Amino acid sequence: LNGGALERLIQILARLPGLGPRSARRAALQLVKKRETALLPLATALEEVARTVRPCRICGNLCEAELCAICADPEREGSQICVVEDVEDLWALERAGAFKGRYHVLGGTLSALDGIGPDKLAIGPLLARLREGGVQEVILALGATVDGQTTAYYIADRLTELPVAVTRLAHGVPVGGELDYLDEGTLTAAFKARRSL
């Protein structure tokens, strides 16, 4: 019906989270109609993100410099590291404002089903950070899913040799839920009631 390029754009848009085939069609048509104010700015923003956005060398957060704003901020408490699965979760915790320490992004969870072993996550870099010293507490802010909890126990086990306290978020995180979906009150409460693992 429509041209090949437009069809391709619709198919690519339909794979984005939150967009289905119908909304992808509407989005593509709106982009074509608003070429100067929507399509070209989106193309430019994508190119800019592709060129400039990269993981922070220390924690794995996304940034446009070598270090993210959190790792570069001398005000953040260096003695606490909060371990999260993904950048979404880091952003959710930052929105809650409950934590003033630093982060470590694993890049996922262990998963036997998906064949994700410890070497595919940033667990080695976490151990290296901890061996440099100065960290007193590692907070495992992983989802209350089977994979999240498996990952938390695996990391806690690897950390027993190091002189750090290992805590996890208090239950309050709904079982089976993901951090990114929680309201800020629940995240704050879970942070405050964290306990030794």
Binding site for a second copy (CB under 8 A): 1-6, 8-9, 12-13, 15-20, 23-32, 35, 38-43, 45-53, 61-65, 69, 86-88, 91, 94, 180
In angstroms, give the least distance from the CB of 154 to a second copy.
Answer: 22
> What stretches of the chain adopt beta strand conformation (E)?
54-55, 62-63, 80-84, 102-105, 137-140, 165-168, 195-196
**Choice between 11 and 79, CB closer to a second copy:** 11
**Choice between 108 and 118, CB closer to a second copy:** 108
In angstroms, give the least distance from the CB of 3 to a second copy.
Answer: 4
**Choice between 13 and 166, CB closer to a second copy:** 13
67 within 8 A of 58, measured Cβ to Cβ: yes
181 within 8 A of 89, measured Cβ to Cβ: no
**Choice between 88 and 127, CB closer to a second copy:** 88
In angstroms, give the least distance from the CB of 22 to a second copy.
Answer: 8
How many Å apart are CA 130 and CA 85, to the nearest integer?
18
How many Å apart are CA 63 and CA 45, to the nearest integer?
15
Nearest to 95 by CA among 3, 194, 197, 185: 185
